[in-house]
Chains A and B, each alone.
Chain A
């Protein structure tokens, strides 16, 4: 039973990230009936913006007691990532989706596939296709602050000049864990040109996933309230019921759609930072599979429904984790290598049995 619980929790952690991305899918689909394939790419762009903020902006050097600098670092990264993803989504909607809104569903869906490929490949060109390690937050210390046995490994960066005159930063392990730093060691380090050492905070995925779950618990009610209780939410619901009637009632449909895209991508941007912090790397392809899975999650939960997206995400995550585990227990050794296939098979089953998903409204057919 304990083992089952482990896999269940792993699935929940994964599902929380799917749910985060699925929120945007479901909101957009709910309002303009468009499967926004590019949503995974908004997520990816958010992840990159978060990556560069964490790597280059040195917010962690802020003069505050720990762990506030690291928290601030992440908060700024998340904010930038979410804003970047949101703005990108609004631009995409304005430039690509709005012109085809009247051209039919297939044209709109193909446009979405095209935008997705476009963003993926632009990212490949601009940021290269290389896999980049997640920049672990650092805790900086001057040499004087280090005294006695070191609690963790301490590293130092030094510049190295090549024969062509390029300067390359080199990371070195200067004090290993448990090693005592005494004046002699300090003098030696100073002689080597080390002025400042740092500790690398390697985040555990469990901790990050706990924050993601927490954020989900925080965001989902906010979004739900936004849709149910505010004027904008009322406009969104009206637009999704009948866009033409809503327009006649004086609702600015374009504004409502843009707002929906912005909110959905904003949330996906947050998910992007959470994703790279949990899984430790970023590359231009990270949007594709999680995006697809999140869409599957949204469909399973009932596309168009916010609680459905969260439920679908969690169910998909748990299925992907627990089902292969059970199959493995039954003697299928490589069941975990099939987990993506299992997820898609699950999707097809849900679609065939209940096409509108678990919490979805039944479809109406206009004849």
Chain B
């Protein structure tokens, strides 16, 4: 019961500390979403614009489960089970949407998944008040610990820890998957579907598997998010979020896992920092949304494969170091 031990810590973060913990938590969530989308858009060569739908499904799945079972089991158990439940629901919906849609290619797949994301949002918004809360959303009971003025700091620190642990595990898992036989088959399908088919790979199965894994992971991100926020509303999971996730994947480089985490940090940091500025800060704060879109366009024009491309950060650091030492050596001689 790590949670019980933390309860007595009573961490007082102070205004800045709270802000930082909130920021880091959001970074972790967007990193999870970016990593899972990377599997579809970066490695599997598909093009999904409906990832926010799975995020929403995960969040609502966890919220629903927690409401049903809070109090009947120890809190941390409800938390873990709700996460598993959310992943299960997201996996099943990933399969249901993946089977018919993954026959489509490129733009058509993008549009079909975009339509799917919108359907999810509308369905939640129109749902019965007693089931999924309708437009009001659901309040998620606090099961890990009671959150109040004293324990707020503990709660944030704990959630940030949990979230980052999941990010690391997720990156490790995806990396191993890609290096496995199935992962290599997926990369082959992404390169050339017909050729891969001729080699005896079942392209549809390979694609659906990647899609379902990615949806499951997005569902997990949704579950953690719901427990942290304490409530879920349908409008949180709009198309704008999808663009943000996509921007993280592109910024970090499609097919780069560490790049994804760094991109999530950069993007969310700037966003939260600007939100924190007082309204008098003027131009940069007001025009942030504009700059955001502008960065996306510029990036696509000048570096369509992301800042680092498909390389990991360590590769970049190594090549920079090599370049640097070579430069230094050149000066010496």
Contacts and interface: CB of A to CB of B under 8 A. Distances in A.
On whether A and B touch (CB less than 8 Å), the answer reads yes
Interface of A: 33, 35, 96, 99-100, 103-111, 113-118, 120-122, 124-125, 288, 292, 295-296, 299, 334, 337-338, 340-341, 344-345, 347-348, 351-352, 355, 365, 367
Interface string B267-288: 0000000000000000000110
B289 A352 contact: no
Contact of A110 (B106, B108, B296): B296
A341 B116 contact: no
**3 nearest A-B residue pairs (beta carbon):** A114-B296, A344-B115, A118-B293
Interface string B118-131: 11001100100000
A113 B107 contact: no
B316 interface: no
Contacts of A288: 239
A355 B104 contact: yes
Contact of B304 (A96, A104, A117, A124): A104
A96 B301 contact: yes
Contacts of B81: none
A114 B297 contact: yes
A365 B105 CA distance: 11
Given A117-B243, A334-B126, A347 B300 contact: no
A111 B115 contact: no
A175 to B, nearest CB: 43
Interface residues of B, number: 38
A332 to B, nearest CB: 11
Contacts of B294: 114, 118
A348 B300 contact: no
A105 B115 CA distance: 19
A220 to B, nearest CB: 24
Contact of B104 (A116, A124, A351, A365): A351
9 contacts: A100-B304, A110-B300, A116-B293, A121-B293, A296-B111, A299-B108, A338-B122, A344-B118, A352-B101
Nearest to A113: B243
B246 A110 contact: yes
A90 B123 CA distance: 38
B289 A341 contact: no
Looking at A33, A103, A365, the one whose CB has the most chain B CB atoms below 10 A away is A103
Nearest to A111: B300
Contacts of A120: 293
B112 interface: yes
B172 interface: no
Contacts of B159: none
Interface string B288-319: 01101110110011001000000000000000
B119 A341 contact: yes
Contacts of A110: 246, 250, 296, 300
B116 A348 contact: yes
B54 interface: no
A365 B294 CA distance: 34
B175 interface: no
Contacts of A107: 300, 304
A122 B112 CA distance: 28
A337 B126 contact: yes
A21 to B, nearest CB: 15
Contacts of B300: 100, 103, 107-108, 110-111, 114
A348 B113 CA distance: 8
B110 interface: yes
B228 interface: no
A57 B314 CA distance: 61
B107 A35 contact: yes
B100 interface: yes
B289 A117 contact: yes
Looking at A105, A111, A114, A115, the one whose CB has the most chain B CB atoms below 10 A away is A114
Given A344-B115, A348-B112, A367-B194, A109 B296 contact: no
A352 B297 CA distance: 31
Contacts of B287: 121, 125
B132 to A, nearest CB: 14
A296 B301 contact: no
Contacts of A109: 47, 107, 110
B322 interface: no
Given A96-B301, A109-B47, A117-B296, 9 more contacts: A107-B304, A110-B246, A114-B294, A118-B296, A296-B111, A341-B118, A344-B115, A344-B119, A351-B108
Given A106-B47, A334-B126, A351-B104, A121 B112 contact: no
A35 B47 contact: no
B182 interface: no
A122 B119 contact: no
Contacts of B293: 114-118, 120-121
B118 A340 contact: yes
Contacts of A122: 290
Contacts of B297: 96, 111, 114-115, 118
